[in-house]
Amino acid sequence: MKNSEQEFLKSAHGGDSKIGDINAILEWVRAQNDRVEVEVERIAFKDMTHWGFDALSGSLRHDSGRFFSIDGIQVSTNWGTISSWNQPIINQPEIGYLGFIVKRINGVLHFLVQAKIEPGNVNHVQISPTIQATRSNYTQVHKGRKPLYLEYFRNVKSDNVLLDQLQSEQGARFLMKRNRNIIINVDEDIPVYDNFEWLTLQQIKTLMRFDNLVNMDTRTVISGIQFSDPSVTCTDALRYLADSTETAKFEYESLKSVVTTEGAVHSINGIIHFLTDIKSRYDLIVDRIPLNDVKQWAVLPDEISRGDGKYFKVIGVNVAISNREIMSWQQPMIQPSQPGICAFVCKKINGILHLIVQAKLECGNRDIVELAPTVQCLTGDYRQPDSQPVPFLDYILGVSREQVVVDCLQSEEGGRFYREQNRNILVIADESFPDKLPDHYIWMTLNQLFYFNRFNNYLNIQARNLLAAIAFS
């Protein structure tokens, strides 16, 4: 497809949609919830069919050797105030599909979304990509049905691929995990099954303003969409908004920051130097250890947890979902100890919107650090008075309501995380906010963030989720 950036921008700005307004979509989601029976209950590890603790490594794993395992790791680093620790971690080396089929309807790109239930979802049905499957799922290790639409992705011609990336998942919970984020275009009519529907990108982004409605896999895929290329001038792109009386100032400034390359505080080479310098100065050494040897964690009959209740625990669940490829199964899941917060501070500098981005080390990262939001508090309770001070957290929590452009709860991936939700926030700083930043923090425009998001493993999943929430209408 030629000029896919312009096609995506048109879809993000709206246009005629087959399904109708947001209320109609919400009603469709409610109807999908009513049609599906869901039961998820905690069980002891010994009651998980096909799962058990390996006699040699102590890892909690599937007897096929596929899907994923819960392993123990020893971490050593010269980053921060804690130089070493042990923890359980999800080890899932196989790469799965997170993919959308898109098609022009009434001249506007629509995305084929799925109303999908994962066992860890707080509200059962969430808006998911066309396909969302691990390699073990689509090769039918579970002996269930193949995922719908799989053949379109396996047989796609390169000319119809609009996005294809390997992107990381949660670096504090997964050991170097990546998924294939892919968007493919079809011209022909294709079947639309009962729990699937066509939505524009604008509709998906609007639905992200509702709590826990658009799942993490949808957010990471659409975050990779590019809205500008060298053939599209700033004037051409902004024309999509020029005739809209409903376009808010932040949406206009966001698009301007996406398509404009001038006015940035730092150059692309300067940002690469910033990252390379950090990666050269800091070490991250991760060694596998037996799960039973993980210090301060106890392997109990029904959970793996710390005595102080911090961070997270590993639990076992029994699942029954009536519309899945396989309708009942057991598995381990990660249950968080508390909700987290992920936020970007934005400020207009040199006439262009910039965001404060941090280089963040997490134990599961493939290359020491990734670009993360201004604030990312997921594994520690930031509300405790004795917790370590987090740069910019007090500012974000104390801004006026008028400065907040996004504030909603978003779920982590419900196939591995049990009812985990984090508060996602975007705030606009006023002119008095200082331009000088602490070490490991840097100002970046949206154009620069989207540039680095073209490549694998630069932006972490929390940063990508927040980028996906930025709308242009």
Rounded CA gap, 16 and 26, in Å? 18
Among 199, 196, 190, which Cα is nearest to 20's? 199
Asked whether residue 18 carries a pLDDT value surpassing 90, the answer given is no
**Which value, to the nearest 10 degrees, does the dihedral of the CA atoms of residues 56, 60, 65, 68 take?**
-140
What pLDDT is stored for residue 316 in this prediction? Answer: 98
What are the pLDDT digits (tens) for 341-379?
999 999 999 999 999 999 999 999 999 999 999 999 987
pLDDT top residue among 173 and 141? 173
pLDDT at 313 over 90: yes
Domains of the chain: 4-39+94-225 (3.90.79.40), 255-283+338-468 (3.90.79.40)
- Measured between alpha carbons, how far is 63 from 79 in angstroms, rounded to an integer? 37
Strands of 186-289 (E only): list them.
196-200, 284-289
User: Mean pLDDT, the chain, as a whole number?
Assistant: 91
What pLDDT is stored for residue 230 in this prediction? 46
pLDDT tens string 124-172: 999 999 999 888 776 766 566 789 999 999 999 999 999 999 999 999 9
Q: Is the pLDDT of residue 25 over 90?
A: yes
Quick check: 297 and 337 in contact, CB under 8 A? no
* pLDDT higher than threshold 60 for residue 122: yes
Q: What is the pLDDT of residues 183-229, one digit of tens each?
A: 999 999 999 998 999 999 999 999 999 999 999 999 999 999 998 76
- Strand (E) positions, 241-325? 284-289, 297-299, 303-306, 312-321
Indicate the pLDDT class of residue 7, thresholds 50, 70 and 90: very high
Q: How far is CA 123 from CA 30, 86, 407, in A?
A: 10, 33, 18
Confidence of residue 16 (pLDDT cuts 50, 70, 90): low
Query: With contact defined as beta carbons under 8 Å apart, do 152 and 186 qualify?
Result: yes
Q: What is the mean pLDDT of residues 234-247?
A: 52
- pTM for the model: 0.93
* pLDDT score, position 236: 55
* pLDDT at 470 exceeding the cut of 50: yes
Asked whether the predicted pLDDT for residue 403 surpasses 50, the reply is: yes
Query: Quick check: 20 pLDDT over 90?
Result: no
* Pairwise CA distance, residues 139 & 334, whole Å: 24
pLDDT above 90 coverage of the chain, percent: 81
DSSP 18-57: SS-SHHHHHHHHHHHHHH--EEEEEE-GGGSTTEEE-TTT
CA neighbor of 302 nearest in space, from 312, 292, 311, 315: 315
Helix, strand, or coil (residue 290): coil
Joined tokens for residue 195: 């729990």
Which residues lie below 8 Å from residue 193, measured CB to CB, with a gap of 6+?
148
19: pLDDT strictly greater than 70: no
Residue 243: is its pLDDT beyond 80? no
Selected residue with higher pLDDT from 424 and 35: 424
